[in-house]
Each structure stands twice: as structure tokens, then as C-alpha cells.
Amino acid sequence: MLEIISVYYKKITAFLVSMLMLFATSLLGDIPRAKNPIVAEKTNYVFDTDRILIGGYGCNISQTDDEHMQYVVDAGIDFLVSAANKEFLDACARFGIGVIAKNFGGLPTYGWTYIDRTDQCPWLTFTLEDFVDHPALWGNDLMDEPAADSFPYLARMVDSYYSKTNGKIAYINLYPSYANEEQLGTKADWFAFSKDYQRISSYQKHVNAYIETVGTDYISVDIYPLKQRTDKATGKPYKYCEPTWLKNLDILAKACRDTNRDLWVITQVTGMPFEGDSVTRIADEADIRWQAYTALSFGAKAIIHACYQEGWWDESSHLITRDGQRNPVYFYVQAVNREIKALSDAYSDYKNIGAFVLNAYKENHTRIALSKVEFKAISDLQSEDTLLVGCFEAKEGDSKAFTMVNMNEISKNDRADAKFKLNGASSVTVYRAGVPSELTPDADGFYSLSLAPGEGVFVTVDY
């Protein structure tokens, strides 16, 4: 009897704590705001930004034969973030592959190999005549995961780079929200009462500092939400998800909307052990699709898969092994990329205005409240499951659009069923796996969708 009471007590306590956290974190929706953010001016790049860009992080630049270059193209990858030399760039040019280069043309990767905050920094001293260009070169990798005290120096380097190049990108990738205060260089508010709240508070300040200081027309982040633990009682591994994942994307998406920037997201396709556990979670196709559609729900313009080949963590689960063989994950990424590319034209006609979660309290990774969004296209949404809805407006005209993503913890292997009403819709198209089809209401005016684990769709609404 005491054991039963104890179990119920734990469940009630956990529920009350989660509800308190949901209420408290709802205050995070729109605060704290950046004081004087830089509104970015769009650069006319050498690559096309009017579509969803697909990238791969890391490549063995010694494998420049046609077979390995074709692997990149067949995977649906437009560009690589990679070390580079002329031979590698020549091979990429032959196959129409872009490269954001590390350590090429006299410009080192600032964050990894050359920390120089003096006026002699190569990023400040190179000239247009010095710059080594190439048809495959999309830009240069400036820094990965800088702390906030680096932002003033990065701003100088970015300005120097853009003033001396033509259509190339100075690439900076930011930390995710689960970085600690020392890494971010910003401290949480004193009243932050939980670990997740502290992370979000510190992270919001980090992002504010970036958009107040550095004027890039994009914000890039690598966030790896797929985790795994071993159950101590059963000895079996189980999957779970990073609790600040959605709020991380929400903070960056709002910063992008407020400052005219594009959101770039590096996804997790490489296996990674967590919290000292010897078990590694290897991403499957549903995991990869889930991350892609979640990123798109927040308006992502580029999705970069890490790692393509050279990189970190479990090398056996990169898309391409070190010796140049394709892994199963290569074919998972290939399938998801085909969907994204098929969706790209329709998606690119719209701009993201925010996202919301239905039944957020049911999953740990959806409980932190997102920024408030007003989206009147959907008049009624009903589901017993947890759903993420990304909200969009047409860049031209009155059309609306939305993503709908199954946000049930993927380890549950549950479908998500939803029905909804739309205000005044004359034509509704759902893009499932990138393929459009007409969606029609039932006799009561409800449209219905059923989503597999990790699945997302894109729905356009015309009037």
C-alpha cells in the first residue's frame, strides 16, 4: 500500500512541477529583448538563397574522384562546410557543389586554429588582391561557437570580409542552448529557478548580444537533440530528447524575424554517447526527418547535416566512412533531402511568423513555452497528441501556410492524429514527403491528418 501511495505521490509531484515550470517559462515568450539589434542588409551571394539549402559538415578532401563527388550530389547536398584546397575545390566545381571553406586562401578558421584579436589578424589585414577565390567557394568559415566576448572582434572581421569580397559568406556558427554560462559568456537571471530556465535565460542574453553586435544576414546553430540513456532497472537503452530544443530554435527564429536574417540549422545525424553512457544513439530516418521538419517549422532556410564524413563522435555513423564507404545513415539523409528539395519551391514562397505547440505538457521537450504567435488561418485544432505547428504568411498575396509535426517522443513510436478547421479556405494543399495533394474537409468542415513518428507536413491555404 505504501508503495502505491509513493508512486502516486511521485506522479502528482512531477505533474505539479511540470505545470509550474510551464506557467513560469511562459513568461519567457518575448523577454528579454535585444536593446539595439542590428537589422541586417541582405547580401547578394554567389549561391541561391531563394530555396532551402542543404549542407553537409566535414569531408575528406583527399577523396576527389568522380565517384565520391557524385555521392555528395546523390545525397541531395548543395554545399559542404569543410577544409579545402585547390584540388578539392576544383572537384566540387565540376559537380556544382559549393564549399564554405576552413583554412583556405590565407584565412584560417578563427575559432579553432587561430585566435588573434589584434590588428594583425589575417581576417583584418587581407586585401582584395590577396583573396584567393574559386568558382566553388561560397565563403570562408570564420568561427565555430564563439563566446559573447568574441562578438566585437567577429563584427570587425565580418565587416572586413564583406568589404573585400564579392558575394561570399563569412560563416559563424553559434552555440546551442545547452551550452553552459562559461561557454556562452553570459549569465542567467538570478531568479532562474531550474536548470532549463537558467540555460534559456543565459542563452537569450547570448543571442541578444550577437544580434546587437554582429551584422550577419543569417544566424547558424548546431543543436543535437537526440539523446539516449540506459534504464538502470532493465539495462535497456531508451531514447529521449533535449528539453530546450524547441525553445532554442524559437529564440533564434524570433531573432531572425526581428533583424531580417535567415535561420541555418545544423542537425544531428552522427551517433553520440551521452552522460557517460556507453550506448550510442544512431539516428534513423525518422530521427533525421523529425529534426528537418522541426527546423522548417521555425523558418529554417538552410539545413546542414553533421557529420557528412570528417568530424566528431561516432565516425562509423557519419554519412560516409573515413575510407569513403556509404553508411545506412547516408540513405536516410538522402530520402529526407529529397523531400525537402521537393518542398523547397512552395516553402520559399512564405515567411515564418512563429510556431506553437498543442498539448505541450505531455512531452518533456515541448514544455518550455514558445514566443506568442497570432495565426488566424486555423480556427480549431484538435488532437490527443503533441503537435508542433509552424506558422507562415505568403511573401506576396494573402495565402497562409503551416507545418504540422508529430512531436510525440519518437521512442514511443506513436502516430499523431489531428483534425482542424480553416477560416475561409478555398483550396488546401498538403505536401507530404514533398508531394502535393489536395486536402478536403469532412461534412463538419474538419480537415484531418495522421502523422507517423517523426513525420511533418507542409500545408498551404488559399482563399
Looking at 12-21, 196-205, 398-407, which range is the least confident one? 12-21
Q: What single letter denotes the amino acid at residue 388?
A: L
Say what the pLDDT of residue 272 is.
Answer: 76
Tell me what the mean pLDDT of segment 269-287 comes to: 79
Q: Let me know: does 30 contact 372? Beta carbons within 8 Å.
A: yes
Residue whose C-alpha cell reads 474537409 in the numeric block = 441
In 3D space, the residue among 230, 235, 179, 227 whose CA is nearest the CA of residue 409 turns out to be 227
Identify any residues that bridge with 430 across adjacent strands, giving them in sequence order: 437, 459
pLDDT for res 29 = 46
pLDDT of residue 191: 82
C-alpha cell at 345: 519551391
How far, in Å, CA of 100 to CA of 142, rounded?
Answer: 10
Give the phi and the psi of residue 296 in degrees, each rounded to 5: -65, -30
Task: Give the least confident one: 51-65, 313-327, 333-347, 355-369.
Answer: 313-327
Give the pLDDT band of residue 11 (cuts 50, 70, 90).
very low
CA proximity to 241, closest of 407, 17, 452: 407
Q: What is the pLDDT of residue 14?
A: 45
Distances (CA, A) of 103 to 55, 112, 137: 18, 10, 12
Residues 22-49 have a mean pLDDT of 77
What pLDDT score was predicted for residue 111? 64
208 has a pLDDT exceeding 60: yes
Q: pLDDT at position 359, please?
A: 98
Check residue 275 and give its pLDDT: 57
Residue whose C-alpha is closest to residue 406's, from 373, 455, 364, 345: 455
**Does the pLDDT value for residue 4 go beyond 60?**
no
Position 24 scores a pLDDT of 47
Q: Which range among 37-41, 232-236, 297-301 shows the weakest confidence by mean pLDDT?
A: 232-236
Which of 272 and 76 is assigned the larger pLDDT? Answer: 76
Spatial distance between the Cα atoms of 342 and 363, rounded to a whole number of angstroms:
30
Of 13-17, 26-30, 148-152, which has the strongest mean pLDDT? 148-152
Residue 273: pLDDT band (50, 70, 90) is: low
pLDDT over 80 (residue 15): no
Please give the pLDDT value at position 310.
83
Q: What is the pLDDT of residue 33?
A: 78
pTM: 0.92
The answer to whether 252 touches 376, Cβ cutoff 8 Å, is no
Nearest alpha carbon to residue 224 among 333, 313, 344: 313
pLDDT in the model for residue 279: 67
Domains and CATH numbers, the chain: 53-348 (3.20.20.80), 352-462 (2.60.40)
Phi-psi region of 375 (alpha: psi -120 to 50; beta: other; left: phi over 0): beta
Instruction: Give the list of residues 6+ apart from residue 427 with CB closer than 8 angstroms, or none.
Output: 438, 461, 462
Tell me what pLDDT residue 17 has.
45
Residue 209 pLDDT > 50: yes
pLDDT at 313: 83
Looking at residue 31, what is its pLDDT? Answer: 52
Say how many C-beta atoms besides its own lie within 10 A of residue 348's C-beta: 15
State percent of the chain over pLDDT 70. Answer: 90
Out of 203-207, 278-282, 425-429, 445-449, least confident range: 278-282
Chain segment 294-309, per-residue pLDDT in tens: 999 999 999 999 999 9
Q: What mean pLDDT is predicted for residues 391-418?
A: 97
Mean pLDDT of the chain: 91
Does pLDDT of 49 surpass 80?
A: yes
CB 79 within 8 A of CB 92: no
107-151 tens-digit pLDDT: 988 765 445 677 888 999 999 898 999 999 999 999 999 999 999
